[in-house]
């Protein structure tokens, strides 16, 4: 009854994946106290950097995302996760902006993470990889931006964990970002969200093929555990209303229930599919590390408990966006960010978009989201001297 035929491994070698690789030689001082490096950042770009180097937009991906925001995924062949937003004439207009999207530190699509070989041992890092934070991810991105000789990003934008990175950029490097757009985000990970992450991690670590994290060295892969983790997480990305609208209690290719444990219901079949396809493109240890980074995120805690202090003196323009049916990162979380930005006298817009698409709304075709982003970015572009909108 396994939903994943085990063992499976990612079939396509990382060397063949398109995009850029930046080797970073100077070690990075991580929050855990370790000087980490050298390491590699894998990234994609879309559009052209203007002569002023003033039109760069950093796109930050979410937990299960990667740098392939606007071109086909090298393993799945599926369109980029923000394909609908990025392109000529689109909201993130590649005729106008230079977009950069980097795989996060700890990821598994080319940037150094636990599945990469530790040069000191010749074995994959596995659990000897240092536990990283959202701030560490942003520190690594800062190296990339410096390498590209960009002093100031026009905008940093991202949803969910991407929004955490946006907020961290605003707090860590306020003079380097002109505009910031955190979507469906929070300034700290909630108890409920930590709890869901812990379930996913326990599902992975309970899989005997996890082998204390050493599965790659042993030729194994905890695909069952990772699939269960993905299934649990996937429920939290959707709203109850969307699940009801999409699936309800509809049966999967049958006229009546079978009185068994097959996927009688469409929603079961859909979830199993989400679990079994995820393991083809994601590394289980990366899942542990990235969820942990999200759990640890608490921007106020970095500033003596005052979120407003994180944004003191900022001159960036903020557009905070939440979605009514998002129960994972509810509007109340975005409101806290808005309150803190107001307390810091920042330039902030706040839009709550009515949709039943839940947390996933930031990845979907939401006309009001697109219009909001277009308006905000056009306004910022004018102030930045990037010219009127075409």
Binding string to a copy of itself for residues 70 to 109, with x set by CB under 8 A, is what? ----------------------------------------
Smallest distance, Å, CB 202 to a copy of itself? 5
Whole-angstrom CA distances from 248 to 87, 168, 234, 262 are 35, 39, 16, 17
Instruction: Spot the catalytic one: 276, 326, 334, 360.
Output: 326
Q: Indicate if 326 belongs to the active site.
A: yes
Q: Which of 61, 143, 281, 292 is in the footprint of a copy of itself by CB under 8 A?
A: 292
Q: Which of 14, 22, 243, 343 is in the footprint of a copy of itself by CB under 8 A?
A: 243
- The whole-angstrom separation of Cα 307 and Cα 330 is 18
Is residue 278 a contact point for a copy of itself (CB under 8 A)? no
Q: Indicate if 66 belongs to the active site.
A: no
- The whole-angstrom separation of Cα 109 and Cα 81 is 14
Judged by CB under 8 A, the chain residues 295 through 314 that form the site for a copy of itself are 295-296, 298, 301
Is residue 251 a contact point for a copy of itself (CB under 8 A)? no
Closer of 87 and 213 to a copy of itself (Cβ) = 213
How many chain residues bind a copy of itself (CB under 8 A)?
61
Judged by CB under 8 A, the chain residues 131 through 150 that form the site for a copy of itself are 131
Alpha helices in the chain (DSSP H): 134-147, 161-172, 191-206, 223-237, 240-246, 266-281, 284-296, 307-310, 331-343, 367-384
Which of 96, 161, 115, 103 lies closest to 134, judged by CA? 161
Smallest distance, Å, CB 126 to a copy of itself? 12
Backbone angles phi and psi of 250, in degrees to 5: -60, 145
Q: Which H helix or E strand runs over 181?
A: strand 177-183
Is residue 257 a contact point for a copy of itself (CB under 8 A)? yes
Is residue 5 a contact point for a copy of itself (CB under 8 A)? no
Closer of 223 and 344 to a copy of itself (Cβ) = 223
Is residue 227 a contact point for a copy of itself (CB under 8 A)? yes
Closer of 81 and 297 to a copy of itself (Cβ) = 297
Structure tokens at 274: 């989400």
Place of tokens 């929603």: 267
Q: Which stretch binds a copy of itself (CB under 8 A): 167-175, 288-296, 338-346, 381-389?
A: 288-296
Whole-angstrom CA distances from 42 to 18, 49, 292 are 9, 18, 21
- The whole-angstrom separation of Cα 282 and Cα 312 is 38
Instruction: Spot the catalytic one: 54, 64, 160, 316.
Output: 160
Place of tokens 């990175």: 165
Place of tokens 């390498």: 147
- The whole-angstrom separation of Cα 376 and Cα 317 is 9
Q: Which stretch binds a copy of itself (CB under 8 A): 7-15, 89-97, 294-302, 362-370?
A: 294-302
Grouping H, G, I as helix, E, B as strand and the rest as coil, residue 104 is: coil
Q: Which stretch binds a copy of itself (CB under 8 A): 44-52, 56-64, 195-203, 343-351?
A: 195-203
Q: Indicate if 160 belongs to the active site.
A: yes
Q: Which of 63, 183, 271, 279 is in the footprint of a copy of itself by CB under 8 A?
A: 271
Structure tokens at 30: 């991580």
Which of 109, 99, 5 lies closest to 47, judged by CA? 99
Parallel, antiparallel or unpaired: strands 98-102 and 347-353? unpaired
Parallel, antiparallel or unpaired: strands 98-102 and 153-159? unpaired
Q: Which of 247, 278, 329, 376 is in the footprint of a copy of itself by CB under 8 A?
A: 247
Structure tokens at 289: 């590390």
Contact residues toward a copy of itself (CB under 8 A) are 1-3, 31-32, 127, 130-131, 188-192, 194-196, 198-199, 201-203, 205-208, 212, 224-225, 227-228, 231-232, 235, 238, 240, 243-244, 246-249, 257, 259-261, 263-265, 267-268, 271-272, 275, 288, 292, 295-296, 298, 301, 327, 330
- What positions carry a catalytic annotation? 160, 326, 359
């Amino acid at each position: 009854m396994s939903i994943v035929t085990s063992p499976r491994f990612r079939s396509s070698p990382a060397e063949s994946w398109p995009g850029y690789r930046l080797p970073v030689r100077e070690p990075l001082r991580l929050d855990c106290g370790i000087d980490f490096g050298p390491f590699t950042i894998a990234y994609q770009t879309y559009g052209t950097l203007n002569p002023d180097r003033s039109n760069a937009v950093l796109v930050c991906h979410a937990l299960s995302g990667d740098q392939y925001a606007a071109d086909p995924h090298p393993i799945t062949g599926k369109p980029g996760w923000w394909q609908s937003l990025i392109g000529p004439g689109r909201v993130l207009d590649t005729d106008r902006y230079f977009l950069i999207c980097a795989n996060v530190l700890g990821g598994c699509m080319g940037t150094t993470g636990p599945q990469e070989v530790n040069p000191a041992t010749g074995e994959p890092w596995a659990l000897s990889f240092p536990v990283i934070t959202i701030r560490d991810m942003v520190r690594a991105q800062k190296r990339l931006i410096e390498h590209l000789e960009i002093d100031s990003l026009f905008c940093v934008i991202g949803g969910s964990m991407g929004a955490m990175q946006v907020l961290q950029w605003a707090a860590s490097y306020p003079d380097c970002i002109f505009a910031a757009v955190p979507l469906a985000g929070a300034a700290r990970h909630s108890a409920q969200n930590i709890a869901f992450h812990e379930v996913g991690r326990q599902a992975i670590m309970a899989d005997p093929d996890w082998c204390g994290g050493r599965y790659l060295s042993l030729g194994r892969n905890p695909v069952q555990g990772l699939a269960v983790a993905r299934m649990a997480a996937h429920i939290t990305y959707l709203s109850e209303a969307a699940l009801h609208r999409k699936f309800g209690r509809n049966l999967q290719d049958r006229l009546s229930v079978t009185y068994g444990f097959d996927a009688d219901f469409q929603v079961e079949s859909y979830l199993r599919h989400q679990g079994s396809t995820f393991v083809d493109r994601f590394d289980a240890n990366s899942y542990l590390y990235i969820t942990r980074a999200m759990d640890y995120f608490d921007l106020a805690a970095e500033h003596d408990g005052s979120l407003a202090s994180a944004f003191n003196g900022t001159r960036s323009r903020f557009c905070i966006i939440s979605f009514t049916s998002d129960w994972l990162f509810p509007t109340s979380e975005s409101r806290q960010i808005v309150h803190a930005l107001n307390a810091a006298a920042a330039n902030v817009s706040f839009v709550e978009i009515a949709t039943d698409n839940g947390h996933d709304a930031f990845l979907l075709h939401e006309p009001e989201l697109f219009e909001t982003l277009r308006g905000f970015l056009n306004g910022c572009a004018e102030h930045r001297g990037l010219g009127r909108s075409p």
